[in-house]
Amino acid sequence: MSGKASTSGIWRARISDERLSSCTQSPYELLRPRMDDILGDGGILKEVIQPGEGPPVPQNASVIIHYSGFLEYSDQPFESTTNMKYPRMMKLGRDVTLAGLELGLLTMKKGEFSRFLLQPQYAYGEMGCPPLIPSAATVLYEVQILDFLNSGQVDEFIAMCPEEQNAAPFATLLEVVATVRSFGNRCFNQSRYDNAKDRYKQAVMLLENRDTDYEAEKEKIKAALLPLFLNLCLTELRLDSPHKALKYGSKALGIDSTNTKAFFRCGQAYLELQEYERAQGCLINAQAKKPFDSDINNLLRKVSICYKESLDKEKDMYSKMFREPKQPVKMSPSDSGEGLCSRTVDSSVCLKGKCRM
């Protein structure tokens, strides 16, 4: 499957082919024999179209999914996310309101595409949801898991007091930080830079609040902080805050004094601030690590051009500033006393028709 869940055309086409040999069964009746009963009561049936990979979705996770919901004899979904470029992240137990859909998601893995046939008690109940969903309706959902994050673990950790967080296993802290950073990356990729920044800063706070006497843990904390500082530096650049970007770039260099990304992003920030000499210095350091990197070389070329233009403008400005303009002065008859002096003089005094320099 592609990045989006299928439309009704796939399952409707398959059902149509089978109905040629059986006109007495409805579309859903034709689907049921090849579906698995995940609860044992017939309320939620599942068919895996494309298997996923890794562990199943955990309890209270946040999921990113494409889904479409269908009534039995409808060719069009009554709801769908397939036209959304960035489907929103949905938290189980809060944003996913159908019990059958939530239970079905807990059986899925990342990348999996499946169909779920939900009986009314696991869908919209006896009342339905007029005018779209009639009463006591059985509904079909096509679902693809794009990604999920174990936000339940994050919620539990954040709810702890500082002392409890500090007493938690170090491995748990690193898992929580990795999940929060993944949230930030998801927001960044959707151009939600303020949200991304908040997530990255939250992860930084969790790491910096950890009190440990073990050198190995201190080194792991530094290793986890480095990509967060780099991400914050880039995020502040996207938010047009070069001064803040420099702050995080400097922190990254404080952990790894030869980090190419940190030098490159500091170079970007200095360029935005029109501090071309410093930008050039950062980019030369980055180029020394990656001499054939096109992004570094192109930005360094741009900085060199801007630096030269800046120096030329500065030179021209000082040249004009210290140049003494010569403005000729003509003496009027009233200023010359007796007699007239028509001579044009520069810095001279004319007294009674006699010019004296």
DSSP summary character for residue 138 = -
User: pTM score, two decimals?
Assistant: 0.71
Weakest-pLDDT range from 1-5, 61-65, 130-134, 328-332: 1-5
Report pLDDT for 317.
72
What would you report as the CA-atom Rg of the chain, rounded to the nearest whole angstrom?
35
- Higher-confidence residue of 349 and 52: namely 52
Averaged pLDDT, 289-297: 96
Name the region of 25 (left: φ>0; alpha: ψ -120 to 50; beta: rest): beta
Average pLDDT of the residues of the chain: 86
What average pLDDT does this structure show over 124-134? 92
Please state, in angstroms and as integers, the Cα–Cα distance from residue 102 to each residue in 141, 150, 322, following that order. 11, 15, 77
pLDDT score, position 332: 58
Question: Is the pLDDT higher at 228 or at 310?
Answer: 228
Say whether pLDDT at 15 is over 60: no
Question: Of 173, 107, 183, 197, which Cα lies nearest the Cα of 151?
Answer: 183
Cis peptide, bond prior to residue 131, ω within 30 of zero: yes
Per the listing, tokens 């009674």 go with: 352
User: What kind and span of H or E run contains 64?
Assistant: strand 62-70
Q: What is the pLDDT of residues 215-226, one digit of tens each?
A: 999 999 999 999
Percentage of the chain with pLDDT > 70? Answer: 82
Phi/psi region, residue 217 (left: phi>0; alpha: psi -120 to 50; beta: rest), is alpha
In this predicted structure, the answer to whether residue 354 has a pLDDT above a threshold of 50 is no
pLDDT exceeds cutoff 80 at 67: yes
In this structure, what token pair is assigned to residue 174? 């690193």
- Per-residue confidence at 70, pLDDT binned at 50, 70, 90? very high
The pair phi, psi for residue 139, each rounded to 5°, is -125, 155
Residues 6+ positions from 231 with CB-CB distance below 8 Å = 181, 184, 185, 188, 196, 200
Confidence of residue 353 (pLDDT cuts 50, 70, 90): very low
Structure token digits, residue 304 = 């060199």
On the question of pLDDT at 114 being above 90, the answer is yes
DSSP-H helix ranges across the chain:
8-19, 27-31, 99-105, 151-159, 162-167, 170-189, 193-208, 215-238, 242-255, 260-272, 276-289, 294-322
* 50 compared with 324, residue with greater pLDDT: 50
| pLDDT of the residue at 289 | 94
Q: Can you tell me the mean pLDDT for 196-205?
A: 97
Q: How confident is the model at residue 355 (pLDDT cuts 50, 70, 90)?
A: very low
pLDDT of res. 313: 77
Is the predicted pLDDT of residue 86 greater than 60, yes or no? yes
Contacts of residue 295, defined as CB under 8 A and 6 or more positions apart, other chains included, come to: 264
- Token readout for 276 is 């071309």
pLDDT grade, residue 312 (50/70/90)?
A: confident
pLDDT for res 307: 87
Question: Is residue 122 helix, strand or coil?
Answer: helix
* Residue 335: predicted pLDDT: 53
20-66 per-position pLDDT tens digit: 455 688 899 999 999 999 999 999 999 999 999 999 999 889 999 99
Residue 357 has pLDDT above 90, yes or no: no
Backbone angles phi, psi at 39, to 5 degrees: -110, -20
DSSP letter (8 states) at residue 87: P
Which residues are CB-neighbours of 62 under 8 A, at least 6 positions away?
89, 90, 91, 92, 148, 149, 151, 183
Q: Tell me how far apart the alpha carbons of residues 255 and 88 are, in angstroms, rounded to a whole number.
A: 35
